[in-house]
Amino acid sequence: MQFVREPLHRFKKHLTLHEISGSLGDLGTLLPIMMSLAISGQINLTSTLWFTGIWNILSGVLFQVPVCVQPMKAIAAVVLTKNMPIQENMAAGLSVAAFITFLGITRTVHLVGTFTPPAIIKGLQLGTAVQLIIKAHNLIPKLQWKITAANWSDNNTWVLLSFLFVVACYRTKIPSALILFLIGLIFALVLMFAEGRDVPHPSVGGGHYPDTIIVPSPEEFKNGFLNAGLGQLPLTTLNSDHHAKTSHVAVSVGMMNLIGCWFGAMPVCHGSGGLAGQYRFGARSEVSVILLGACKLFLGILFGGSLVGLLQVFPTSILAVMLFISGIELGCAARSVNDLTDDEYRKRENFTVMLLTTGSLVAYSNDGIGFCAGLVSAALLSMQRLGLREWYLEISHFIPGYL
């Protein structure tokens, strides 16, 4: 029973208010994306709460650091922007999971990083951020400035106030995303019960369990992978948490999705952004993610998919701001595109590659096109800088035994 006693001992030892606070640090990314996907029927909420909760707990126990479980943001952004059905969303998650698992098992995941310039990764992150911001903007046009009895909970005034609140809390440890969510939840409960909105009410019943199997067709696999999955591959392989061995993280990401996506659970990964948020709020051990996972699992068992009706009356004004800020946070990762070089020519080259990747991704709403455009432009620009022979020699150094 040592494998049970040791995790329990560590949990008791590290259970502090700082860890409880740290468990909230990931919600700024998780909540708006999960809610948007659930409202539009692009994930199964019961399965998502169940499996992400289980993955949080298992990741904490196995890695013994606050490894977050975040949405695959590149997939989520494309799925939301293109209104892709749940089958194609799951197909994207499964296809990425299969590739990542193979790379993890064969311990070749590092090769993706070797042959993918960081500027392309930053471009994909920035493009995904722009897509999330566009989706947030698309939620707003129907809102009005004039406040009436019919729109008291959902208008442009709440957009402005929510935005100002998040900006005011940005450099503090106040969990602004959680507070906004709770305010929106109160509004939704008032609309549902006091005003009698015609939506399904949350129910406890006999418990809620993942009972839906999603089997994408070959056509859905093709559309899901090419439109949403292809651009997620380099992000998942290169942007995962580095506090654990890369191959182990890759296998973990693969297995999470190879199991959960068949039940309609949201495609997830171990992103580094969530870890930064948890650390900023006080997380220093696995206790924070175990607590978050337990809360998700509790909600999944108690309410499950019956919460979708409540989310349908959640104020669009607040959700739009949450999604917008999530996009801004992701886009801020592009600031480090030139951190590893002091050469001004290389800095301009990196910035150009990043913008070409971002522009192609946004223009075609396709991460795969953005990735290919960035890769081609990076190769051509480096050829111009080095000359064909020098470029050939530099590339060959990355392949053992090539020359």
294, two tokens? 């337990």
Beta-bridged to residue 268, according to DSSP, are: 71
What are the domain boundaries of the chain? 2-85+140-210+240-322
- Residues in the chain with pLDDT < 50? 241-243, 400-403
- Tell which residue, 267, 288, 269, has the closest CA to residue 277: 288
Residue 396, CA atoms < 13 Å, CB-side half-sphere: 9
Which pLDDT does position 345 carry in this prediction? 83
Which pLDDT does position 86 carry in this prediction? 94
106, two tokens? 């064969």
Beta-bridged to residue 70, according to DSSP, are: 269
CA distance 94 to 112: 19
Beta-bridged to residue 269, according to DSSP, are: 70
CA distance 132 to 29: 11
DSSP, collapsed to helix, strand or coil, labels residue 256 as: helix
CA distance 54 to 69: 10
Tell me the pLDDT tens digit for each residue of 90-103: 999 999 999 999 88
CA distance 63 to 54: 14
User: Is residue 244 within 8 Å of residue 104, measured between CB atoms?
Assistant: no
Q: Classify residue 113 by burial, with Cβ atoms within 10 Å: 0-12, 13-18, 19+.
A: middle
Any idea of the CA torsion for 109, 114, 118, 124, to the nearest 10 degrees? Answer: -50
Q: What is the pTM of this model?
A: 0.83
Query: Distance from first CA to last CA of the chain, Å, rounded?
Result: 53
- Tell which residue, 125, 156, 24, 159, has the closest CA to residue 167: 159
338, two tokens? 């030139």
Which pLDDT does position 401 carry in this prediction? 43
CA distance 205 to 230: 40
Which pLDDT does position 24 carry in this prediction? 67
User: Is residue 235 within 8 Å of residue 374, measured between CB atoms?
Assistant: no
Buried-state track 370-379, b at ≥16 Cβ within 10 A, e below 16? bbbbbbebbe
CA distance 122 to 335: 8
CA distance 201 to 134: 30
Which pLDDT does position 402 carry in this prediction? 39
Which conformational region is residue 343 in: left (phi greater than 0), alpha (psi within -120 to 50 degrees), or beta?
A: beta
Tell me the pLDDT tens digit for each residue of 199-218: 777 777 656 788 889 999 99
Residue with structure tokens 């106040």? 174
CA distance 261 to 276: 26
CA distance 252 to 101: 8
- Tell which residue, 286, 295, 288, has the closest CA to residue 63: 286
128, two tokens? 């995904």
